[in-house]
Amino acid sequence: MVDSVNRGGAGWLWGAFTAARERAESDADLLGRFVRTRDEAAFRELVRRLGPTVFGVCCRYLGNSADAADAFQSTFLVLARKAGTVRPPGRVAAWVYGVACLAARKLRQTRQRRRLREVAVPHPPDRPAPEGEMDTELRPAVDEELGRLPDNFRLPIVLCGLRGLTIAQAAAELGWPVGTVATRLSRGRAELAKRLARRGITLAAIAAVGGWSELVAGVPPRLIEQTVATATGGSVPPAVTALTSEVVNAMTWTPLRQLGLGLLVASAVALAGGAIISNGIAAPAPTAPIFSDTQPPPGDTKPALDRVEWNMVAGLLRQASVRKEIGLSPDDYKTLAEFRKERRGALKKRLEAGFQAGGQQNGGGVQKTRGQQNGGPGDLAAAEALDQYLKGQRELEVEVAKKAAEVLTPAGVKRLKQAVLQAAGPRGLLDRVAIRELQLTAEQEDRIAAALGPVRSPLNVIQNARLERTAQEQDAVMETALKVLTADQRKRWDALVGKALPTADLLRANPTSEESMADLNGE
C-alpha cells in the first residue's frame, strides 16, 4: 500500500498530506477506497470518524466498557466483510449505526442468557442516577426509537445528530438537496421526540446532559488500532468471532425470511446426509437501486435514463409484450435464456458447496433449520456463501442485460431501460435520480410516500389468480402518486418512462411473482 512506503526524510510530509486527504474525503469516498483496494488507512479513518457513535451505542446497550469493546470490534469487522453491500455508499454512517445496534442487542441477549444459568446472588441496591444524568435503563430507548423511524427521518438525525455533520455535509453524503435534509431533520426530531416522550425521555433531558454529544462516546486509541488490525487480517478474539457470526447471520437470514421468493433451497441444496433447510430459502429481489448511486459531476447533462441500472431484466425478457416492444428475436431470446440457465446452475452449485462446508463445521454435516439457534462455527461460512450467491445473482442480471444490449438496436436498449424503470412501479418516483430529474420538493416526496403506503412485504407473493386485480390496484396507486406532480414534472416523467407497458406483465417480471418463483426453481 502506498501509505506504508518508506519515504525517508519526506515521510512526515507524506503523512500530513495523507491525513489531510482522508479528512477531506467523504465517508462514501473512504468506503469506496477500502472496497477497491482494501486500503487500511481509509478503513482506519472510517473507524476514527464513526467510532464515537458506535461506541456510544454499545455503551448504552451494554453498560460496561469490556462488552462495549467487543460489540465495537464486531461492528467494524462486519463492515470490513460486507463493505461492498452498503448501498448507497453515502449512507455508510447510518448503516454502521444499525449494525452497532444489532451487535449490542445480540451481546446483551447472550449476557442475559448467561446470567439466567448462573446462581442468583443478591444485587446491591441500584445507585441513584446523578442529577442531570439520563437513566441508564432508558438510554437504549433512544436507539430503539431512532431505529424505528423511516429512513427519510432517521438518516439526517444519524448524520447530523450523532455523526456530527452539518446539514450541507449530510446533504452531500446522501445526495439530497440541502433544503430537503433540513426539513426532514426537523420533522425527524419532532417525531423522535414524540416517541421518546411515551417512554419517559425528552429531548430537553438529553440537552441537559450535553445534547446529542451525550449519545456518543470517546473511543480509546488502543481500541481503534485493535479494531483496524482485527478487521484487516489480524487475529480475532473468540468472543468477537462468535458475536460477528451472530450478527452476520441475523443480517443474512432475516432478509431471506422476509423476502420469501424464488429459489427454494429445499429443492436446490441437498446437504450432507440428505438433510436440507426445512422451510427453504428464497432468492431475494435484487437489492441494487434502479439508478446508479454515482452522483453526476456538476454540469453533467447525461440523461437520467442512461443512469438506470439493469434490474429485473430476466423477468422482463420472459414477457412476450416486452420482447416485441424492444425488438428481441426468438432465437436471440433462446440464446440469452440458455446462457442464464447455465450460469445460474453454477451459482447454485457454489451455494450448495457453501452449505455443505458450513454443515461440516457445525459437526455432523447437517445444516440447521432456520428456526434453530444460530451461532455455530459453520454458520458464518454458510452466511458468506449466501452473500456470494446473492452477489452472483445481481451480477448475472447485469450480464444478461449486456448480452441483450449487444443484439438490440439503440432504440431497443432505450426501451428496455424504460421497461426496467416502469417495472419499479409507483416507488420508482422516489428513487434518488428520479427525485433529482423531476426536481421534487421535500413536501412532494412526503405526499408521494403517503400515497404509496407501507412497503409491500415480499412474503405476499403476487399470485396468478389475483394478477389482474393487483395490476388494477397498482395502477390506481400510481395515478394517485402522479397527481402530486406538477404539469411540467408529469411531462418529464412520461418522457422518462415512455409508452406504458401492460402492468400485469410488469408484475409477472417481479421477483415476488409466482412466475418468477417457478422460473428460479426450474419449473
- Report residue 371 CA to chain centroid gap: 23
Q: What is the DSSP string of 235-303?
A: ---HHHHHHHHHHHHHHHHHHHHHH--S--HHHH-PPGGG---SS---PPPP-S-SB-SSPPPTT----
Instruction: Give residue 171's identity as a one-letter amino acid code.
Output: A
Average pLDDT over residues 434-462: 77
CA–CA gap between residue 142 and residue 192 (Å, rounded): 8
Given this model, what pLDDT does residue 117 score? 60
Number of helices and strands (H, E) in the chain? 24, 0
**26 close to 163: Cβ distance less than 8 angstroms:** no
**255 close to 362: Cβ distance less than 8 angstroms:** no
Average pLDDT over residues 75-87: 87
Given this model, what pLDDT does residue 460 score? 66
Given this model, what pLDDT does residue 298 score? 41
pLDDT tens digits, residue range 288-346? 444 443 344 444 445 777 777 888 899 999 999 999 999 999 999 999 999 999 998 88
Given this model, what pLDDT does residue 523 score? 52
Judged by average pLDDT, the poorest of 94-103, 200-209, 493-502 is 200-209
Average pLDDT over residues 28-44: 89
**201 close to 138: Cβ distance less than 8 angstroms:** yes
Whole-model pTM: value is 0.57
Helices (DSSP H) in 25-64: which residue ranges?
27-37, 40-62
**480 vs 367, which has greater pLDDT?**
480
CA–CA gap between residue 343 and residue 291 (Å, rounded): 25
**351 close to 270: Cβ distance less than 8 angstroms:** no
Given this model, what pLDDT does residue 506 score? 93
Q: Which grid coordinates belong to 454?
A: 407501507
Report which of 50, 66, 103 is spatially closest to residue 217, judged by C-alpha positions: 50
Residues with Cβ within 8 Å of 452's Cβ and at least 6 positions away in sequence, in order, are 426, 427, 430, 477, 481
Q: What is the mean pLDDT of the chain?
A: 75
Given this model, what pLDDT does residue 332 score? 94
Long-range contacts formed by 231-234: CB under 8 A, 24+ apart: 231/43, 231/47, 231/73, 231/76, 231/77, 231/79, 231/80, 232/38, 232/40, 232/43, 232/80
Residues with Cβ within 8 Å of 8's Cβ and at least 6 positions away in sequence, in order, are none
Given this model, what pLDDT does residue 478 score? 93
pLDDT tens digits, residue range 403-414? 999 999 999 999
CA–CA gap between residue 86 and residue 79 (Å, rounded): 9
Query: Does the structure show a pLDDT above 80 at 20?
Result: no
**191 vs 112, which has greater pLDDT?**
191
* Number of Cβ atoms within 10 Å of the Cβ of 82: 18
pLDDT tens digits, residue range 413-429? 999 999 998 998 888 88
CA–CA gap between residue 88 and residue 71 (Å, rounded): 24
Instruction: Give residue 397's identity as a one-letter amino acid code.
Output: E
Residues with Cβ within 8 Å of 58's Cβ and at least 6 positions away in sequence, in order, are 67, 68, 69, 71, 72, 75, 100, 103, 104
Instruction: Give residue 237's identity as a one-letter amino acid code.
Output: P
Residues with Cβ within 8 Å of 510's Cβ and at least 6 positions away in sequence, in order, are 285, 312, 315, 423, 462, 516
Q: Which grid coordinates belong to 444?
A: 412532494
Given this model, what pLDDT does residue 358 score? 63
Torsion of CA 387, 388, 391, 393, to 10 degrees: -110
